[in-house]
A = this chain, B = another copy of it.
Amino acid sequence: MSTTGQQIFTTLAADGTLTVELADATFPAPTGNQVLVKMEAAPINPSDLALLFGPADLENADFSPGKVVAKMPEPFNTGSKGRHGQRMPVGNEGAGTVIATGDSDMAKALMGQRVACVPGNAFSQYCLADAPMCLPLGDLSSEDGASGFVNPMTALGFVENAKMDGQKAIVHSAAASNLGQMLNRICQEDGIALVNIVRSEAQVDLLKGQGAEYVVNSAEDDFMAQLRTAIDTTDAYYGFDPIGGGQMVDYCFKAMEQVAVGKMTEFSRYGSNQAKKMHIYGRLDLGPTILTPSYGFGFTLTGWLLFPFLQGAGMETMGRMRQRVLAGLTTTFASKYKRKVGLAEMLTKEAALEYRAMKTGEKYLVTPHA
């Protein structure tokens, strides 16, 4: 027996016309390890926005009830050739109640439970999810559990990855984000020194109010000096950056190298021997990444994504991480939302412009049955 409900779809035509619409969808009965979840809450994460709207021109888009038609600018339209003509579901994660299950014992055990899940079509009234990826929420609400995967596992993944690489300190940019605040709490729990880079005095206060020891403000004239001091104190030659474009990664490498060179007794044309590593895990800035030749050859820049990291880390590490997240969903791993919206309201101009701006403290939660 199949179930019908409303779901959001995004379609990019070859001519650059982006259509995002709310439409009826049919969900087949779950089989095997699948469960059918009646979705109650789903956060709008930056990684969802990349697919939902990307850099489409929302200011001049055509908004009608349950539908947005916008223009995708170049070079992004050509760069998205792979999705041209495909009607795609959106929404990495969310939470809801299991209302039907497949035949497997693991699936059947979840019947009737509230779970967090990672279905890939979370902006929907119903989702088919894999039982092994569902996190039973027990007494917690769907709102508490909705952001239980992407941000918590990413922030925790940074710390796990740092430990695997023998690091005791981390640099993090755009550090006042929901994810950044989580990382700040994890690092305090685990005794990892965290250099938080933010861009306003208010964000400095926010993080210091949450116990952060090292917060540097990129809007200040002495930003580089602040950053060098923090790196010198913490030995943080290892960092994560969600901005991607522009020079934030470059500034981090530069400051790391300047600290390392300051400790050298002899000049080397090749720079210091200090290994410096930065990970780009997001693209808040879609411009090119600029790396100036000012830190020798001891640098590594690499992309970082949650799922490849988890695959590499293995099931045991992932299980341990998920248990820690579950235990801390309302504390260490808690998310805050500015506003809740239904599926139709999510496609209004007022809402879309606000949550697409991805400003600190302005995350939205979608409640598909509200």
Contact = CB atoms under 8 A, between A and B. Distances in A.
A138 interface: no
A283 interface: yes
Contacts of A291: 288-289, 291, 301
Interface stretch (A35-43, A107-115, A292-300): A292-300
Interface string A70-113: 00000100010011001010000000000000000000000000
B294 A298 contact: no
B302 A270 contact: no
Interface string A247-284: 00010000000000100100111100100000011010
Contact of A293 (B82, B288, B292): B288
A289 to B, nearest CB: 4
A293 B289 contact: yes
Given A88-B267, A300-B303, A303-B298, A293 B51 contact: no
A66 interface: no
A307 B269 CA distance: 13
Nearest to A270: B305
A368 interface: no
A275 to B, nearest CB: 9
What is the interface of chain A mostly: helix, strand, loop, or mixed?
Answer: mixed
B82 A267 contact: yes
A79 B51 CA distance: 41
A197 to B, nearest CB: 20
A302 B350 CA distance: 43
B303 A302 contact: no
Nearest to A276: B303
Given A82-B261, A288-B290, A280 B305 contact: no
Nearest to A308: B273
A296 B303 contact: yes
B297 A300 contact: no
B299 A302 contact: yes
A202 interface: no
A312 to B, nearest CB: 11
A342 interface: no
A297 B281 contact: yes
Given A288-B290, A291-B288, A293-B283, A301 B301 contact: yes
A78 to B, nearest CB: 10
Given A82-B268, A288-B293, 13 more contacts: A79-B294, A82-B264, A83-B267, A83-B269, A244-B293, A245-B293, A270-B305, A289-B293, A299-B302, A300-B300, A300-B301, A300-B302, A300-B303
The 8 nearest A-B residue pairs measured at CB = A297-B303, A300-B302, A289-B291, A82-B267, A83-B267, A297-B305, A51-B269, A288-B292
Interface of A: 47, 50-51, 75, 79, 82-83, 86, 88, 244-245, 250, 261, 264, 267-270, 273, 280-281, 283, 286-294, 296-305, 307-308
